[in-house]
């Protein structure tokens, strides 16, 4: 098999601007241990390549698969070692498809390499990586004689393994070792002229590797995840769209699909405000969903925009959303809920004309909202302004991180922990609450905006915009969501800041 690597610009939109077609697969993996771990790998790899072929037919250059999509996350049902693959070092430029001898720990990766070469398509695959070690030679080598990593690998159009990134920020992953290699290991450049950085799930809430590589000039990000939704700020579409918009980057994210555990929501999110996203967030659907969309990156200025609509699953209107065709039933909707009792909160009083309310919390964080109650519905609606600067805990208190939040949230009552409770609630067709603006003065330069409706869809960015104004005299910035037109009944409008350096201060005990 002969494969020649050529630098090919798929489409040139303007000076230094490259257009390419990306694809993501939301996937509910085969997970039965009845036939063993190898059978799990082979069946999911078969499904991956089947959808990769469909994506290629639609012009895709690169496709992303979910975290644990190859192995499933049913790791306690059998011998986890049988799910692991040995991954060559990218510097060796190994084409696994050309290997004559393979073992059970390389066979499935070889099949994926052959598929990438046959389809002439970049594959981004998350897997469990096996690394052998000797306890006699390596001080921290486990007694079992090997490490397991949660690893993303990149196979190019020739089937060559060109990148390997080991997840740094694990989330309750027993038996898996956190990666400690340079953020540069997450970066790769394609033959269509676009440089990407990799990241896996919980990584998105931290600076390394994604934000660090974006600040180094990378403008396109591919992410594998098994994301579990948390209201009111961290559902999948909120987090992914907000991260993309806040950093001004293209984000291609493939999620594990398991609505019984609150896992769904994948998409291709362009960084430029006002452009269209293509995403799926479906509490009814089971199985796999393929999304394909055209994206563009300015490789000179680092400015990323969406230049055309998805070739698949298009809908009229703003964000291109493949969601449920009917309202999800209460028992089908699974969410974690953040404890909001620590947040300063203000119940917004009814006002027939625009009114501004403000609320502050720690570290000088002050939030403001401008709104109106139209009085055109017969029911009373509760909305609160929330403000918080401090540590929040995730994973049942195992992890903590420093956030700053300004948010306007729908609530069932005047009690703060009734906010963003949608299970069992019928979203109304109209609302008396009309948001005009929410803003805050943040102490760090990483703020992620999101606006979500009570039917659990993203409000189109055709209806709102996000502005971030750094102050030259400090690390502060003013962040603003400005709503330009009336939206569907609002669930939340949020500015979520991550103060990465404050994480380090708290974790070192230097409070």
Please give the span between the terminal C-alpha atoms of the chain, in angstroms, as a whole number: 60
Summary count for the chain: helices (H), strands (E):
5, 27
Summarize pLDDT for 80-139 with one digit per residue, the tens: 999 999 999 999 999 999 988 778 789 999 999 999 999 999 999 999 999 999 888 777
For residue 266, is pLDDT > 50? yes
Q: Which of 267, 65, 90 is nearest to 165 (CA)?
A: 90
Residue 438 forms beta bridges with which residues? 369, 481
The answer to whether the pTM exceeds 0.85 is yes
Distance in angstroms (rounded) separating the CA atoms of residues 504 and 511: 10
Q: Which residues of 357-391 are buried (b: 16+ CB within 10 A; e: fewer)?
A: bebebeeebebbbbbbbeeeeeeebbbbbbbbbbe
Summarize pLDDT for 485-496 with one digit per residue, the tens: 888 899 999 999
CB 385 within 8 A of CB 345: yes
Token match 């999101």: residue? 450
List phi, psi (to 5°) of 405.
-135, 130
Lowest mean pLDDT among 3-7, 89-93, 168-172, 409-413: 3-7
Mean pLDDT (whole number) for 427-448 = 90
CB 361 within 8 A of CB 388: yes
Residue 451: pLDDT band (50, 70, 90) is very high
Residue 131 forms beta bridges with which residues? 147
Radius of gyration from C-alpha coordinates of the chain: 23
Distance in angstroms (rounded) separating the CA atoms of residues 187 and 191: 14
Summarize pLDDT for 322-363 with one digit per residue, the tens: 554 344 444 467 899 999 999 999 999 988 889 999 999 999
Summarize pLDDT for 209-240 with one digit per residue, the tens: 999 999 999 999 999 999 999 999 999 999 99
Mean pLDDT (whole number) for 176-193 = 97
**DSSP SS3 for 327:** coil
CB 481 within 8 A of CB 438: yes
DSSP-assigned letter for residue 209: I
For residue 2, is pLDDT > 70? no
- The size of the chain, in residues, is 511
Domains of the chain (ranges, CATH numbers)? 11-330 (3.60.110.10), 338-507 (no CATH)
Residue 147 forms beta bridges with which residues? 131
Token match 């420093």: residue? 402
CB 130 within 8 A of CB 166: no
% pLDDT > 70, the chain: 87
Helix (H) or strand (E) holding 231: strand 230-231
Distance in angstroms (rounded) separating the CA atoms of residues 221 and 218: 8
CB 114 within 8 A of CB 134: no
Distance in angstroms (rounded) separating the CA atoms of residues 138 and 130: 16
Distance in angstroms (rounded) separating the CA atoms of residues 511 and 363: 13
């Amino acid at each position: 098999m002969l494969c020649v690597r050529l630098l090919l610009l798929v489409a040139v939109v303007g000076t230094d601007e490259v257009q390419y077609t990306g694809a993501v697969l939301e996937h509910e993996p085969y997970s039965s241990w009845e036939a063993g771990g190898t059978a799990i790998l082979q069946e999911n790899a078969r499904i991956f390549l089947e959808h990769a072929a469909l994506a290629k037919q639609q012009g895709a250059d690169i496709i992303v698969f979910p975290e644990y999509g190859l192995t499933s996350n049913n790791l306690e049902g059998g011998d986890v070692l049988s799910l692991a693959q040995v991954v060559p070092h990218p510097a060796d430029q190994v084409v696994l498809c050309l290997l004559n001898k393979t073992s059970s720990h390389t066979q499935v990766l070889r099949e994926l390499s052959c598929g990438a070469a046959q389809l002439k398509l970049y594959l981004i695959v998350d897997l469990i990586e096996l690394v052998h070690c000797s306890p006699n030679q390596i001080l921290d080598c486990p007694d079992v004689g090997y490490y397991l990593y949660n690893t993303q690998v990149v196979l190019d159009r020739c089937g060559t393994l060109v990148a390997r990134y080991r997840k740094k920020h694990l989330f309750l992953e027993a038996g898996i070792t956190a990666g400690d290699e340079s953020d540069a290991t997450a970066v790769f450049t394609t033959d269509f002229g676009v440089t990407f950085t990799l990241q896996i799930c919980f990584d998105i809430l931290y600076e390394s590797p994604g934000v660090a590589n974006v600040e180094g000039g990378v403008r396109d990000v591919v992410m594998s995840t098994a994301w579990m939704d948390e209201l009111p700020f961290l559902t999948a579409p909120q987090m992914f769209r907000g991260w993309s918009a806040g950093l001004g980057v293209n984000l291609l994210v493939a999620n594990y699909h398991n609505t019984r555990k609150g896992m769904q929501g994948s998409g291709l999110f362009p960084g430029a405000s006002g452009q269209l996203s293509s995403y799926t967030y479906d509490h009814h659907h089971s199985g796999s969903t393929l999304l394909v969309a055209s994206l563009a990156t300015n490789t000179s200025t680092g400015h990323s925009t969406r230049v055309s609509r998805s070739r698949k699953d298009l809908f009229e209107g703003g964000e291109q959303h493949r969601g449920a065709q009917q309202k999800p039933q209460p028992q089908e909707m699974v969410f974690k809920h953040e404890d909001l009792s620590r947040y300063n909160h203000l119940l917004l009083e009814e006002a027939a004309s625009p009114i501004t309310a403000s609320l502050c919390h720690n570290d000088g964080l002050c939030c403001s909202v401008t709104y109106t109650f139209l009085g055109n519905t017969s029911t009373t609606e509760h909305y609160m302004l929330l403000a918080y600067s401090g540590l929040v805990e995730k994973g049942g208190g195992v992890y903590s991180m420093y956030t700053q939040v300004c948010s306007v949230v729908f609530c069932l009552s005047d009690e703060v922990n009734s906010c963003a409770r949608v299970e069992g609630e019928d979203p109304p067709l109209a609302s008396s609450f009309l948001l005009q603006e929410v803003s805050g003065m943040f102490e760090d330069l990483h703020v992620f905006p999101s606006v979500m409706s009570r039917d659990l869809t993203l409000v189109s960015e055709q209806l709102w915009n996000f502005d971030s104004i750094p102050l030259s005299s400090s690390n502060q910035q003013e962040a603003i969501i400005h709503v330009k037109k009336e939206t569907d009944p609002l669930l939340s409008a949020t500015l979520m800041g991550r103060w990465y350096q404050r994480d380090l201060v708290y974790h070192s005990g230097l409070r």
